Amino acid sequence: MSYSLVVFDWDGTLMDSTHTIVAAIQASCRDLELPEPSASEASWVIGLSLDSALLRAVPKLTPALLPRFLERYRVHYLQRDPDIKLFDGALDMLDALAARNVKLAVATGKSRVGLNRVLAATGLAGRFEATRTADETFSKPHPAMLLQIMEELDTAPEHVAMVGDTSHDLQMANSAGVHGVGVAYGAHPPDELQACAPQVVVHRMAELQAWLLARV
């Protein structure tokens, strides 16, 4: 296999934001006196569009309550936002891939506003040749994000790797006919990633970088 395009999920894959998202969901539940999901229940929905994620993580949350919950979620998330960083080694990995003329892209459950904000904050706005967010097309695990990115960058599925920390990412990869690469340092446990039959599941950023560079 030889990859000319690598597509990354954002939260839990490039950015160490899993704990922040979980904490924001749980705090919002306390604000609205709703049953609080466990950390594993809250982290499972990461990568889905925000509305879908919240309704699934908090079964007692009704569509009528959703606007208030979203407001509280954004407050709690943004309070923690200055402390969220890229995973150690993520920038080096992106630089190493770019030096090999690999096209880089992002497919994320974040909103366009949210993704643009973190791309600007991390200085990565110019690093990716294409990006797709959950409010622009179908949410994961639907393959639309990947299909649109491949069309935009004129790349065949057999030359594409989709890197993500959730089964939603890997199911999307399978549906789009591209190679899935699981990272076990994010939201979903290794066995759930392995159940999606990815090419590999790695446990560290350095391992991810080495695996990809050997195949570009």
Known catalytic residues?
A: 9, 11
- Both tokens of residue 4? 């000319």
DSSP for 172-215, please give it. Answer: HHHHHT-EEEEETTSSS-HHHHHTT--SEEESSHHHHHHHHHTT
| List of E strands, the chain | 5-8, 103-107, 130-132, 160-164, 179-183, 200-202
- The C-alpha atoms of residue 12 and residue 103 are separated, in whole angstroms, by 21
Evaluated on CA atoms 22, 69, 74, 140, the torsion sign reads positive
- The C-alpha atoms of residue 45 and residue 214 are separated, in whole angstroms, by 31
- Both tokens of residue 99? 């030096």
- Both tokens of residue 22? 């979980």
Tell how far CA 117 is from the center of its chain.
15
